[in-house]
Structure 1
Amino acid sequence: MRVWHAMWLQRIDTKIADLQKQEAEQEQGQKNRPQEPDWIVELGIGNGRPPIEVHVGGCYAAGKRRRPAPRDEARRLLTSGVRACTHCKPDAQLRILDTLRLYSPFLHGTSP
């Protein structure tokens, strides 16, 4: 009976040590994770991989083909006609609201 209990205690101690090691590794990984970019440009498929959508960094709707972008580039892309993500709304955060309406009122059915 003693041998059997000693065997189970050893298994329990080993499992606890493994879980503590795994937890420590996860904490270290989170500390060493690179900082999330402020803005993300989602890239298209094909020659040159043109930008197709701008996202706020960390947006869950951003596709796999993406790259970080500085604030100025994100603003330039949005004002040049690249789509803004409808989930994270980078145009609102960059204060580029209704720029298309300002420059082309006929697209929205209003007169100048």
Structure 2
Amino acid sequence: MFDDLPPDLDRLRTLRTWHVLWVQRIDAKIHALLRRQAETEYGRRHRPPPPDWVVEVGIGTGRPPIQLHVGDCYMLGSRRRPVDRAEARRLLADGLRACTHCRPDNRLEVLDLSRPMLLRAARTSVPCRPISSPLGAVW
């Protein structure tokens, strides 16, 4: 068998104690990692769904809204607050800029309000004549 162990009982007991301490350290680390894995899995399974619409807000007094995003947009900054569909549509109608990456205005089916004629119609609720284009009339 293994003859590289010390021949006397005192040194063998010392080695055994030393190895027991190492096994305890290893077991503690294994249990800590298992606990961390279980917590991560629990958090992943119980994570709330992202909000449908998110407003990116600025810095300063009142934290003014800067841009509207879809809830899972990768361009979303760290300063944000969730909004519901009605508020998101209202913010876009009031002139808040929509993210060009996730296009919340398309998903909310809001017309492009950047054209002056459409802005005037949206503000006054007065019908306007269609804008002519090569593809036909556009409202």
Compute the TM-score of the two structures, normalised by the length of structure 1: 0.74
- How many corresponding residue pairs? 106
Query: For residue 10 of structure 1, what is the aligned residue in structure 2?
Result: 24
* Secondary structure at 1:54 match in 2: strand
Change (3 A) 1:4 1:90: same
- Paired residues for 1:24-39 under 5 Å: 24-39=38-53
Deviations 1:57-97 (A, max 9, x none): 13232222221100011111112210011222111211224
* Residues in 2 aligned to 1:48 and 1:10: alpha-carbon distance in whole angstroms: 55
User: How far 1:2 sits from its partner (Å)?
Assistant: 4.8
User: How far 1:34 sits from its partner (Å)?
Assistant: 3.0
Letter of the 2:34 counterpart: Q
Uncovered stretches (5+) of structure 1, i.e. residues with no partner: 105-110
| Aligned Cα root-mean-square deviation (Å) | 2.4
Query: For residue 99 of structure 1, what is the aligned residue in structure 2?
Result: 113
* Residues in 2 aligned to 1:34 and 1:13: alpha-carbon distance in whole angstroms: 34
Match of 2:65 among 51, 55, 69: 51
1:69 matches 2:86: no
Letter of the 2:45 counterpart: K
* Secondary structure at 2:114 match in 1: helix
* Secondary structure at 1:99 match in 2: coil
Match of 1:88 among 61, 85, 102: 102
Kindly indicate whether structure 1 or structure 2 has the higher relative contact order, using CA contacts under 8 Å at least 6 residues apart: 1
Letter of the 2:89 counterpart: R
Letter of the 1:58 counterpart: D
Identity, in percent, stands at 57
Q: Which has the higher helix share?
A: 1
